[in-house]
Amino acid sequence: MDQKEVVYVVSDSVGETAELVVKAVATQFNGGHVEIRRSSYVEDFEDIEDVILLAKDSRCIIAYTIVVPSLKEYLDQRAAEERIYAVDLLNPLMNAFTTKFNKTPHHQPRMMRKLDEEYFRKIEAIEFAVKYDDGRDPRGITKADIVLIGVSRTSKTPLSMYLAHKRFKVANVPLVPEVPPPDELFEIPRRNCIGLIISPDKLNEIRKERLKALGLGSKASYASFERILDELEHAEKIMKRVGCPIIDVSNKAVEETAGLILEILKKERSF
């Protein structure tokens, strides 16, 4: 009876990358019938010895993704001593990066997992910004890292999305004289909230353009100076009541305002 064909997948991380590579190669031979035994989170020489002990009496290959030089060298040495075929799946490409791009690898395990975690945090923050945009659900105020408040057309939504891409959960609340601000706004720490103000002239200009884009007349009360002054006065009263920092966004790009927000928050707390 033929001895079972085994590939030991050894990694200082989860080992998913190595296993996928092994499976891709295995499909080219006998329909991919090979047994894969994964050894994850290899952190010291003893972990490697455990794999060597299992592998030396088998008809097997060790396929590994180990980036810590001392562990890699030890595995190569022990595999050679026991006449076990060991394949480094990362080093040839890492050497190519070093040679061609003149870059030095970090040699830190689990970097991919860190990148994945960062990615999913960003997606979660973006979904949060969409869900709690424009005061749709006041419950988001108490869950947010940052709460933006201000009158309509002070870039609350673009700022929310920009900050979400930096992995901050942002809720924004429009301040309108006819609508009482949500109670949650006065329950959160003042350091969680940022007020956005704008000059009446600039807001009038922006709102006229907005009305034009919607096919509406520029004389609508939304863009009238009287209405704008009322809204700004109401908003400033709310901001003073909240006690939050205030930023004038009149002639600032979204990136510039976001930078100021992060500077203000950095003084208040550590991210």
Detail the residues annotated as belonging to a binding site for ADP.
Answer: 150-157
With vertex at residue 212, the alpha carbon angle to CA 207 and CA 216, rounded to the nearest 5 degrees, is 100
Q: Which residues are annotated as a binding site?
A: 150-157
The residues, any chain, with a CB within 8 Å of residue 170's CB and separated by 6 or more, are 125, 128, 129, 132, 144, 145, 146, 147, 148, 159, 160, 163, 164
The token pair that represents 39 in the structure block: 């050894």
39: amino acid identity, one letter: S
Alpha-carbon gap, residue 6 to 63, rounded angstroms: 10
- C-alpha dist (Å) from residue 116 to 9, 32, 123, 164, 201: 21, 28, 11, 16, 45
Alpha-carbon gap, residue 39 to 51, rounded angstroms: 8
